Structure 1
Amino acid sequence: MKHVIVFLIVSMNLYGQMMTSVYFQTNAFDLDNESIRKLDSLSILNKSLKFKIFGNCDSSGSDTYNMKLSEKRALTVAEYLAIKNKDNIKVVSIIGLGEQKQINDNSTEELKSKNRRVDIFIERIYKDDEKIQKKLLPDFLSADISTMKKGDTLSIQNINFEGGRHIWLPKAGHSLILLVKKMRENPLLKVELQGHICCDYDNFDGQDLDLGTYNLSFTRADAIKKYLVKYGITPERIQVKGLGHLNPVVYPEKSEADKIKNRRVEILIIDK
């Protein structure tokens, strides 16, 4: 519990926003022990924060049934948080989405289980003229592998994406070639590709307009993995994670240039 609480507080201090999800059994809206543990960690937060709570379902039931079930799940979470700490938690929305915001295609039971969830978005309340800009990470392509450590996160310069898509911009071509070269030259290197989005603050992740799923940050990172594998990098060396909008380079985005900076993939060093 201590480690979970520390992680949540650190995330909030750095970026002013965070998200967590709790999951449910089929046709159920009661909280299990893991969900209660997560919600208890949220209840100690005492900054100027706003909570948005969104219930979701898999595709098993009818549209009407799924909408009602997702609403019950969202209400269950909101009521539990209110009981734990109503003074520190300002809930601004409690919404049931039914099966509207699927993060995957429900083709297996494991994938369905990821859609049976409530997403809890927490944001610090910003002043109108307030803007944060994160310190630029070292560039993986130009950094010496010998200087990298396990757990380091690095940027990949010039690999950014079209809005709402996992298609990279034309200027990414040269960087992708260098990325393949660096992975080939360092065969012991194992990495996690971490995808990011801009703009969509009412959801953890954005909609991939090409696939229709709500896991755009994941599909961006996965597109880079597929490119690397296509050019000979073994898939076992590459993990993929979508971090949604929770780790922006610039927040809030005031221009298209700001948005492009946030539509990116970064690299976490797992082993070398």
Structure 2
Amino acid sequence: MKVYLCILLLFFLAEINSQTLTSVYFKNNSYELSQNSKTKLDSLSQLKSNLAFRIFGNCDPSGNIELNKKLSENRAYAVSQYLKNKIGSNIKLGSAIGLGIEKQINDNSTEKLRNKNRRVDIFIEKTFAQGEKISRKMLPSFLDSNIEMMKVKDTFSLPDVNFIGAKHVWLPNGNTNLFKLYKVLKLNPTFEVELQGHICCDYENFDGEDEDLGTFNLSWTRANAMKEYLLKQGIESKRIKVVGLGHLNPLVYPEITEADRVKNRRVEIVLLKK
């Protein structure tokens, strides 16, 4: 099983062209690496691309703030030291920071969710030469695609619907295509879709801060704002799923200009049911 996990992780990370993230998890009040965590870190150390790793330790809210901060630092340090002894010269090991309980991704309402906050996130980024950047080909438009040719699980773009920085408010020129999206869903009442939110720029977190809400789930709040718009137009809630993918799937990377950043502040659409 461990060999399978190792191969699967290497396959998943083999084609890194910008950024990705993986996490290792800890027992309550511990910063000792489990064997599964070591296996995952061993796999990371074998990556052959030119990469940079940044490491962030996290905690659940058990105990006081000071102790949680120290525990998260110890977790980040344990991962950093383990990788330091494994990686080759092609991988640059960057910062190892303990965030305490500042960036919890779950609400701690169950033990399972608390377990997911007892983690270290490893951000993995491809390193670029000065002036080099990638630009992904734009996905086909959900609005212009032939309905009969659409396939379940295909991903589509929503052209010209982009967002104000650090907010879940779309730019005014997105109104026309949002209304067209509503019309497509209304005319195809069996369609069910997933709205996938994206952000730019915030490479210190998986997701960005929504300045209006004070939460670190900006990609989700952007997709959810679109869902709320569609609900107000009369589309049933059960037909729309919302997820946030943070900054890990940019159209343009690195973001050198404001135009680059605007392109990455977007929502894409996956057809779940036809």
> Normalising by structure 1, what TM-score?
0.89
Alpha carbon RMSD of aligned pairs, Å? 2.2
Structure 2 CA distance, aligned partners of 1:247 and 1:191?
A: 19
In structure 2, what is the equivalent of residue 145 of structure 1?
147
Shift of residue 224, structure 1, vs aligned partner = 1.8
Range with bigger deviation, 133-142 or 30-39: 30-39
1:192 to 169, 191, 194: 194
Deviation string 1:166-212 (CA, Å, 9 cap, x unpaired) is 11112222222211221222222222211111111222211111222
In the other structure, the counterpart of 2:28 is: 26
- Structure 2: which amino acid aligns with 1:5? L
Q: Tell me how far 1:94 sits from its aligned partner.
A: 0.7
3-state SS in 1 of match to 2:250: coil
Alignment length (residue pairs): 269
Q: How does 1:1-272 map to 2 (within 5 A)?
A: 1=5, 2-10=7-15, 12=16, 15-32=17-34, 35-106=37-108, 109-272=111-274
Check conservation: 1:198, 1:248, Cα contact below 8 A.
Answer: yes
State the 1:84 CA deviation: 4.4
Amino acid at match of 2:13: L
Is the CA contact (8 Å cut-off) linking 1:200 and 1:245 kept in structure 2? yes
Structure 2 counterpart SS, 1:164: coil
What TM-score, normalized to structure 2? 0.88
Q: CA-to-partner distance for each residue in 1:111-167, whole Å, 9 max, x for gaps?
A: 544433211111111111112211111111121222222232111112111111111
Q: C-alpha separation between the residues in 2 aligned to 1:114 and 1:71?
A: 17
Letter in structure 1 aligned against 2:249: N
CA contact (8 A) 1:163 1:263 kept: yes
Task: Please report how far the alpha carbon of residue 234 of structure 1 lies from its aligned counterpart in structure 2 after TM superposition.
Answer: 2.8
Gaps of 5+ in 1: none
Residue 252 of structure 1 deviates from its aligned partner by 1.5
Conserved? CA contact 1:43–1:88, under 8 Å: no
Measure, in 2, the Cα distance between the counterparts of 1:261 and 1:44: 33
CA–CA distance in structure 2, aligned partners of residues 244 and 172 of structure 1: 20
Change (3 A) 1:70 1:179: same
- Confirm or deny: 8 A CA contact 1:192 1:240 kept in the other structure: yes
| Rounded Cα–Cα distance in structure 1 between residues aligned with 2:120 and 2:260 | 29
Q: Which amino acid aligns with 2:144?
A: S
Q: Does the CA contact (< 8 Å) of 2:18 and 2:253 recur in 1?
A: no
Change in CA separation of 1:62 and 1:155 when aligned onto 2, cut-off 3 Å: same
Instruction: Tell me which amino acid in the other structure corresponds to 2:64.
Output: S
After superposition, the Cα gap between the structure-2 partners of 1:177 and 1:5, relative to the gap in structure 1 and judged at 3 Å, is same
% of aligned pairs identical?
56
Amino acid at match of 1:64: E
Q: Identify the range of structure 1 (193-202 vs 105-114) with the bigger mean alpha-carbon deviation.
A: 105-114
| AA matched with 2:208 | G
Q: Decide whether the 8 Å contact of 1:104 with 1:213 is kept in 2.
A: no
Alignment partners' CA distance in 2, 1:177 and 1:110? 39
